[in-house]
Amino acid sequence: MLQQTQVQTVIPYFNAFIKKYPTLGKLSSTSEDEILAIWSGLGFYRRARNIFAAKEIIKTDYQNKFPKKLEQIISLPGIGKSTAGALMSLAFLEPQPILDGNVKRVISRLIKKDIATLKEKELWGLSEKLVNHEDCFSYTQGIMDLGATVCTQANPLCQTCPLNKDCKSAFSVKPQIKNKTAKAKMTIAMDLSLVLTNHSFLLAKNEESSIWHHLWIPFDDAIIAVHTSKLQLLKQERIRHELTHRSLNLLINIYISPKEFKIKTNQKYEWIKKDRIQAYGTPQPITKLMSQL
């Protein structure tokens, strides 16, 4: 959950997830839709799909017990060498190196080398040397927190850093002034039709992988266009929604239909009862829009 997402944003999602799925056993029979539903609004939905794929492998190959060998953990979807190292050190107290962006920065500053000139293999070697074999839990948690909160990218707090006696960059890193000219994001325009009856919403499962993969969203305008003679246009909504790397320009026609009807398409779709909509994974702007209807 914390990949590319701030702690404050993650907390309510983490708490809800752990409340619903406190054990692997509770997670094992859940559907991808249910996981996407509880993830709805957190973004980067690939992470939720990876959780589903990983727990399916754990169920089939490891009888619902989380694997304990590094190679087995790395082979699970969504888990790289660094995350696997953190899991081994923190959950199983088996010392393994980690190397996320924060740790890379701390290491490069400790030896006073430009991070861009260090090869990945070199960094892993240095990280391996740092691992504390007597207390890998405290070391792993400590170096991650140090990188995130003390030895920060823009303004390292060398004064309070416990490593300042040995660090070759201590008190010499220049604070960085943030570059305000943000890179322009690509804008994607989407014309959608949200059709509803008094009791349900018509949503389709999005199989396209560009954004909102496997979430439930309104049909493309073109699909609903052939049905508009029996629908009443309630209103049009223009929504600008920012994703991390893209901006979305949504134009959503909202139609009311006297009854549910069939759509000629191979795409999976459902008329979802309004009181069951929370059990489906829907993107944040669509969820918000539906809550107002």
The Cα–Cα gap between 261 and 255 comes to 13
* Alpha-carbon radius of gyration of the chain: 24
CB of residue 253 to ligand SF4, shortest distance in Å: 53
Of 42 and 170, which has the nearer Cβ to ligand SF4? 170
Contact segment (CB under 6 A) with ligand SF4 among 45-53, 58-66, 169-177, 285-293 equals: 169-177
Of 2 and 157, which has the nearer Cβ to ligand SF4? 157
259: Cβ–Cβ under 8 A, 6 or more apart, which residues? 197
Total residue length of the chain? 293
Q: How many CB atoms lie within 10 A of CB 25?
A: 11
The Cα–Cα gap between 192 and 211 comes to 14
What Cα–Cα distance (Å) separates residue 160 from each residue in 14, 75, 104, 140?
30, 39, 20, 19
Judged by CB under 6 A, the residue of 161, 188, 243, 256 near ligand SF4 is: 161
232: Cβ–Cβ under 8 A, 6 or more apart, which residues? 255, 256, 257
# residues contacting ligand SF4 (CB under 6 A) = 15
CB of residue 135 to ligand SF4, shortest distance in Å: 19
**Positive or negative torsion for Cα 214, 218, 224, 230:** positive
CB of residue 3 to ligand SF4, shortest distance in Å: 23
Of 106 and 277, which has the nearer Cβ to ligand SF4? 106
Position 167 contacts ligand SF4 (CB under 6 A): yes
CB of residue 95 to ligand SF4, shortest distance in Å: 21
The Cα–Cα gap between 21 and 193 comes to 34
H or E stretch covering 140: helix 136-145
**8 Å CB contact between 293 and 49:** no
CB of residue 35 to ligand SF4, shortest distance in Å: 38
Alpha-carbon dihedral 40, 282, 58, 9, rounded to 10 degrees: -10
Position 170 contacts ligand SF4 (CB under 6 A): yes
Site for ligand SF4 in 141-160 (CB under 6 A): 150-151, 156-158
The Cα–Cα gap between 162 and 142 comes to 10
Position 106 contacts ligand SF4 (CB under 6 A): yes
CB of residue 187 to ligand SF4, shortest distance in Å: 38
At 246, which amino acid appears? R
CB of residue 177 to ligand SF4, shortest distance in Å: 18
Judged by CB under 6 A, the residue of 47, 49, 55, 109 near ligand SF4 is: 109
DSSP state of 147: I
Of 110 and 234, which has the nearer Cβ to ligand SF4? 110
Residues 28-47 vs ligand SF4: string with x where CB under 6 A? --------------------
Binding site for ligand SF4 (CB under 6 A): 106, 109-110, 150-151, 156-158, 161, 163-164, 167, 169-170, 173
